[in-house]
Amino acid sequence: MRMTDYALGLQHIGIPVADMAESLIFYTELGFDVVHSTEDPDTSGVVNFIRLGDLTIELYEKDALAMCTGAVDHIAINVSNIDGAFDFVCSRGLNNTQDEIHFLPYWNNGIKYFTIEGPSGERIEFSQYL
């Protein structure tokens, strides 16, 4: 078993923002289009997925921001089988956050995801469109 059995590539980059309207103006001026808008069921904050070519960014409102270079919150790897990817990560002792598979009602049928951390504290999300 290898991660390449499940990983399809980069799904999105998650960027927390202080002002969604200002961020949307900025990114649409760069050429991004809003491809999905929703609400975070936990925070009721606005979430927008924007796309330029094959690059998708998840913008979401957050109160406490780092406001510094490198303040990307996470990268998400698109997977074809969230259970298989989760089992792979756990079998190698890499689930250092002790996370579980979560569901969010995003996109057409929702997503399932879990998150681990890299050696420098970077957050890596594994996400499957349902």
Average pLDDT, the chain: 92
Q: Tokens for 24?
A: 């949307």
What CATH number should be reported for the domain holding residue 18? 3.10.180.10
Distance CA 109, CA 36 (A): 13
Q: For 89-99, what is each residue's pLDDT tens digit?
A: 999 999 999 99
Q: What is the pTM of this model?
A: 0.85
H-helix or E-strand containing 50? strand 46-52
pLDDT digits (tens, 9 = 90+) for 45-94: 899 999 999 999 999 987 777 777 777 889 999 999 999 999 999 999 99
Longest Cα–Cα distance of the chain, Å, equals 44
pLDDT on residue 12: 96
Structural domain boundaries, residue 39: 3-63+70-129
Number of domain units in the chain: 1
